[in-house]
Amino acid sequence: MCVWEYDIVSGALSFSREFGPMFGYAESEIPGRIDAWEALVHPEDVGRSRTMMARHFRGDSEALDIEYRVRMKGGGWGWLHTVGRVNSRDARGRAVRMSGTHRDVTGMRQTGERLRLRELAIEAATNAIILVDAQAPDRPIVHVNRAFQAMTGYPTEEVIGRNCRFLQGDDREQPDLVRLRDAITRGAEATVLLRNYRKDGTLFWNSLRVSPVRNEAGTVTHFVGIQTDVTELKTYQLELEHRANYDGLTGLANKNLLTDRLEHASTVAQRSGRRFGLLYLDLDRFKLVNESLGHNNGDSMLKCVAARLKAAVREADTVARLGGDEFAVLLHELDNPAAVSSIAQKILRTLEEPLDIGNQQVFSSASIGICIGPDDGADADTLLKNADAAMYRAKGSGRNQLCFYTEDLNANALDRLRLDADLRHALATEAFELHYQPRVSLTTGAITSVEALIRWRQPGHGLVSPASFIPLAEETGLIVPMGAWVLRTACRQMRVWRDAGLRDLRVAVNLSPRQFRQPDLIRMIAGILDDEGLEAAYLELEITEGVAMHDPVNNQKVLEDLSGRGIALAIDDFGTGYSSLAYLKRFPIDYLKIDQSFVRGLPGDEDDENIVRSIIALAKTLKLTVIAEGVETEAQREFLRRYECDEMQGYLFSKPRPAAELSELLFA
Ligand code: C2E
Ligand code: MG
Ligand code: MG
């Protein structure tokens, strides 16, 4: 810094001796007059400095305070900060003398300029840039550039002071977030790829580079983040990935993805012990369709088949197209390997429905080979190979067939297949009949009700017991039409008895679990009663304990509806399931039927005696009529009567018999 004095009237200037070294001038080169001084000032700054000087002379400014460029001895320009003040005026107020200081601010100006340039660069950058305070709690944002707002939609004032995590919204489970946090705690650099969300909630992929900023002591004071929106690139990558994993025509998984899923299923199965199924499916005679109707129609057909396959399995299962007319289905977590054959049959049936292709109906069918994992192969390749081999065997044994890779499963499946086909045939040809077993009061001996029990008259086998076919019908769903047939036939018979004068009799019909779950159950029952002209009071429905307790909240509504219509309700096989007394009390139940397994040991078996006595006591408490099933001996009847069981059913009184044979008992 130097001090100067200016004689305004004469134009003489003088400087303290510090001035020379400031810009490299020798003593003799220092200007002594104002005009010589102005010759040193940068031409662009002369005008401004004169104006400011004149303003101060007029008294318009308190002091002169100006920065401007001055030629340096060696060439180039230095920056001078000049502050001065008039310290003497004449009688008319005109400035006569002034003095002040010069300060060399060249260095400062250069740094400032550099900073300004950097700031411009940051603002002009197309990448979003964020500056975060590394030392304040929760690392708040202290600066963002314009591109940040353009990229994220958040204006500056909404983000300053917040931690960056708001950019991820609720999508916090991202693998790269872990890496990012790790880098930040270590004060290291990192480049990560994150799913970020704009202010309007839309997703963008953010390729983020984070670098620490350290002070002279080496402490990390800030982090700089540079964000690049790579959404387009990522979308393209995802599309490529999709193409690598999905079939372009049908949108199903391709072989690649199926293989992955199979490997995964194998690993899971080895851990959980639960099996999975692999169906390998080949359309029969697809080549013919393709050649006769053209490739476009062939493609349409494959798409239809794909849609039907998807509709036939659960959401979680994988349907894949392996190429051409070959498909595969991976069935996860099977409760029962035999269920695979039901699903395969269901698929065969859905494919039997004609397809509308190019204005005509095309019939398709398929051959299916089945593998059960992990039994039939430890890895995807083996499983696919074995399922394929099974498929060829299925094709060989006639089309529209399925075949298991493992022989004994095959035999089992074939039996079941045959039984299923026979049952469908029996239903269509009315080969079922109903027998009726009376229930009698233990006090009066009167018949209160008859239970309808289905029988199958099978050529060559005589009457087949329901125990051998109801479980399969339940599994395949055939129980639904079969049960409707039972209900209709029983109601029709009851109508005949009623019309013949049996007004105190009711007919009891068993409802299977699957029937009970049908959403249109109530409509079905009401419809049949209506069709057959039978009042609801003549009908009883039996459900087992397990069915009633399976979904008690929902069941209560169904039971209340049925009961409200006047239909009596019985819990069948009581004692074999686990009843909640709370629900038992709440359900609008009329009867408890003690399972015959407990009656068998009466009298004498202490456990059975205790169980039967407890059930009777429970029924009395709940005000339910209690019935003993399977009563075969006089001693059993005696025991039941002694403990005040209300009714009994069993061979002692009568076996189930055809309606015609019962008349004798009923009209006695
Ligand atoms: P359930 O409803 O408990 O029927 C009673 C079963 O006990 C009948 O067997 C009946 O013949 C048998 N039984 C009756 N008295 C005696 C006896 O004194 N001693 C012995 N040992 N058994 C006796 P069935 O007719 O073979 O039926 C078996 C099961 O099949 C029935 O058990 C029922 O759960 C089911 N079922 C029968 N018909 C139908 C039907 O139409 N629909 C549905 N969903 N299930 C049915
Ligand atoms: Mg029953
Ligand atoms: Mg029973």
User: Cα(456) to centroid of ligand 2, in Å?
Assistant: 17
Atom of ligand 1 nearest to the CA of 512: 44
What is the rounded CA–CA span in Å between residue 547 and residue 28? 116
For the cut 80, the answer to whether the pLDDT of residue 281 exceeds it is: yes
pLDDT of residue 627: 97
What is the rounded CA–CA span in Å between residue 513 and residue 363? 34
Three-state secondary structure string covering 11-49: CEEEECCCHHHHHCCCHHHCCCEHHHHHHHECHHHHHHH
What is the rounded CA–CA span in Å between residue 243 and residue 97? 86
Rounded mean pLDDT, 19-28:
89
In a domain, 117, yes or no: no
| Pair 27, 132 in one domain | no
pLDDT of residue 409: 65
Decide: 212 in ligand 1 pocket, CB within 6 A: no
Number of domains, the chain: 4
Last residue of a domain, one of 406, 430, 452: 406
Write 473-477 long-range contacts (CB < 8 A, 24+). 473/423, 474/512, 474/513, 474/514, 475/339, 475/342, 476/342, 476/345, 476/420, 477/514
Structure tokens at 469: 């076919």
What is the residue with the minimal CA distance to atom 16 of ligand 1?
A: 630
Element (H, E) at 396: helix 380-396
In a domain, 341, yes or no: yes
Rounded mean pLDDT, 8-29:
91
Contact 542, 572 (CB under 8 A): yes
What is the residue with the minimal CA distance to atom 21 of ligand 1?
A: 630
Ligand 1 pocket check: which of 594, 629, 647 to mutate, most ligand atoms within 8 Å of Cβ? 629
Last residue of a domain, one of 406, 441, 476: 406
Report the percent of the chain where pLDDT is more than 70.
98
For the cut 80, the answer to whether the pLDDT of residue 202 exceeds it is: yes
User: Cα(572) to centroid of ligand 2, in Å?
Assistant: 6
| Pair 259, 187 in one domain | no
State CA 294 to chain mean position distance: 39
Decide: 648 in ligand 1 pocket, CB within 6 A: no
Decide: 575 in ligand 1 pocket, CB within 6 A: no
Hunting for tokens 């009329």 — which residue is that?
590
| Pair 335, 457 in one domain | no
Query: What is the per-residue pLDDT across 397-421, written as a single tens digit (0 to 9) for each?
Result: 777 888 888 876 666 666 777 788 7
Average pLDDT, the chain: 90
In a domain, 239, yes or no: no
What is the rounded CA–CA span in Å between residue 72 and residue 20? 10
User: Cα(462) to centroid of ligand 2, in Å?
Assistant: 22
User: Cα(275) to centroid of ligand 1, in Å?
Assistant: 33
What is the rounded CA–CA span in Å between residue 245 and residue 318? 12
pLDDT of residue 416: 74
Decide: 284 in ligand 1 pocket, CB within 6 A: no
208-230 as b/e: b if 16+ CB within 10 A: bebbbeeeeeeebebbbbbbbbb
Last residue of a domain, one of 111, 143, 168: 111
Contact 49, 41 (CB under 8 A): yes
pLDDT of residue 205: 92
Count CA within 13 A, CB hemisphere, residue 589.
31
| Pair 260, 214 in one domain | no
| Pair 444, 591 in one domain | yes
User: Of the bound ligands, which one is closest to the alpha carbon of residue 432?
Assistant: 1
| Pair 163, 285 in one domain | no
pLDDT of residue 517: 87
Decide: 545 in ligand 1 pocket, CB within 6 A: no
In terms of DSSP bridges, do strands 77-89 and 95-104 run parallel, antiparallel, or are they unpaired? Answer: antiparallel
pLDDT of residue 80: 93
| Pair 493, 561 in one domain | yes
| Pair 574, 446 in one domain | yes
Atom of ligand 1 nearest to the CA of 631: 18
Closest CA to 400 of 364, 371, 424: 364
Ligand 1 pocket check: which of 453, 474, 507 to mutate, most ligand atoms within 8 Å of Cβ? 453
| Pair 102, 146 in one domain | no
pLDDT of residue 254: 93
Rounded mean pLDDT, 624-652:
96
Closest CA to 274 of 345, 374, 204, 154: 374
For the cut 90, the answer to whether the pLDDT of residue 600 exceeds it is: yes
What is the rounded CA–CA span in Å between residue 478 and residue 391? 26
For the cut 90, the answer to whether the pLDDT of residue 425 exceeds it is: no
pLDDT of residue 544: 87
pLDDT of residue 410: 66
For the cut 70, the answer to whether the pLDDT of residue 630 exceeds it is: yes
For the cut 80, the answer to whether the pLDDT of residue 97 exceeds it is: yes
User: Of the bound ligands, which one is closest to the alpha carbon of residue 648?
Assistant: 1
pLDDT of residue 6: 95
Residue 553: Cβ within 10 Å count? 7
What is the rounded CA–CA span in Å between residue 544 and residue 547? 5
Structure tokens at 206: 């953010």
CATH code, 97: 3.30.450.20
Decide: 387 in ligand 1 pocket, CB within 6 A: no
pLDDT of residue 333: 80
| Pair 656, 553 in one domain | yes
| Pair 203, 264 in one domain | no
pLDDT of residue 419: 81
Query: What is the per-residue pLDDT across 233-260, written as a single tens digit (0 to 9) for each?
Result: 888 888 888 888 999 999 999 999 999 9
Decide: 483 in ligand 1 pocket, CB within 6 A: yes
DSSP output for 234-272 = HHHHHHHHHHHHB-TTT--B-HHHHHHHHHHHHHHHHHH
Atom of ligand 1 nearest to the CA of 632: 18
pLDDT of residue 408: 67
Report the percent of the chain where pLDDT is more than 90.
62
In a domain, 336, yes or no: yes
User: Cα(542) to centroid of ligand 1, in Å?
Assistant: 11
User: Cα(500) to centroid of ligand 3, in Å?
Assistant: 28
Structure tokens at 391: 């498929």
For 370, the domain range is: 244-406
In a domain, 413, yes or no: no
Rounded mean pLDDT, 15-40:
91
In a domain, 297, yes or no: yes
User: Cα(333) to centroid of ligand 2, in Å?
Assistant: 33
For the cut 90, the answer to whether the pLDDT of residue 215 exceeds it is: no
CATH code, 302: 3.30.70.270
Query: What is the per-residue pLDDT across 562-572, written as a single tens digit (0 to 9) for each?
Result: 999 999 999 99
User: Cα(453) to centroid of ligand 1, in Å?
Assistant: 6
In a domain, 411, yes or no: no
pLDDT band at residue 473 using 50, 70 and 90 as cut-offs? confident
Structure tokens at 629: 């099933």
Decide: 437 in ligand 1 pocket, CB within 6 A: yes
Atom of ligand 1 nearest to the CA of 656: 11
Query: What is the per-residue pLDDT across 315-370, written as a single tens digit (0 to 9) for each?
Result: 889 999 998 999 999 998 876 666 788 889 889 989 888 888 878 788 888 999 99
In terms of DSSP bridges, do strands 506-510 and 539-544 run parallel, antiparallel, or are they unpaired? Answer: parallel
Rounded mean pLDDT, 157-185:
92
Decide: 426 in ligand 1 pocket, CB within 6 A: no
In terms of DSSP bridges, do strands 657-658 and 432-441 run parallel, antiparallel, or are they unpaired? Answer: antiparallel
Contact 82, 64 (CB under 8 A): yes
| Pair 386, 433 in one domain | no
Contact 599, 611 (CB under 8 A): no
Decide: 365 in ligand 1 pocket, CB within 6 A: no
